[in-house]
Amino acid sequence: MREIEGIEKVVAYLQPHMADIEARFHAENESYINLMNRPHDIIGRLLKYHLVVEHYLERFLAEHYGIENIRAAKLGFFNKVELLPSRASSAAFVKPGILKLNSLRNQVGHNLGADISFDDLGPINGVLDVARPGVGFQAPIEAIEAFTTVACTWLIVPPKELHKRPVRRMPSTLCV
């Protein structure tokens, strides 16, 4: 074994502190193990929902604004969401929830100890109150999953030929 010059002096200096050093090591090791053992299912699901919404977000922006290659603009998720209309559009309805989804993804993505509660969902809850009235969710991640479905649906731009179709009135016999 190769010796390191002066190591004996370092070991002798540290010897009276070894109990504290070992205690600190064990505390840090336990903290590390706890972080590594945190369930990653929620992190993975949240990231997946975020990526799926981003896919539909890019499609919406490309179709709505006629942008041929939205990815070439190298916009971040937040910037893409900011390009969504804020009123008079189906996308405007889900925009606040998409912004919240992004902040939750950032919260979990930068802090392994982060937990998400129903109170943290904010505008996501508002969208679900309208789009999924009366549905109870067992966990916040389930509500986020349901929101993802709603958001993606509302971000779909109908084909141009459907834009020009005349709106027909419902026959009066069907009206209540």
H-type alpha helices, 37-169: 41-65, 77-82, 90-109, 123-131, 140-154, 160-163
Whole-number pLDDT of residue 133: 94
Sign of the four-CA dihedral 89, 152, 51, 118: positive
Question: CA 8, CA 6: separation in Å to the nearest integer?
Answer: 5
Question: CA 174, CA 105: separation in Å to the nearest integer?
Answer: 45
Residue-wise pLDDT for 32-84, tens only, equals 888 777 777 888 899 999 999 999 999 999 988 888 888 888 899 999 999 99
Average pLDDT over all residues of the chain:
86
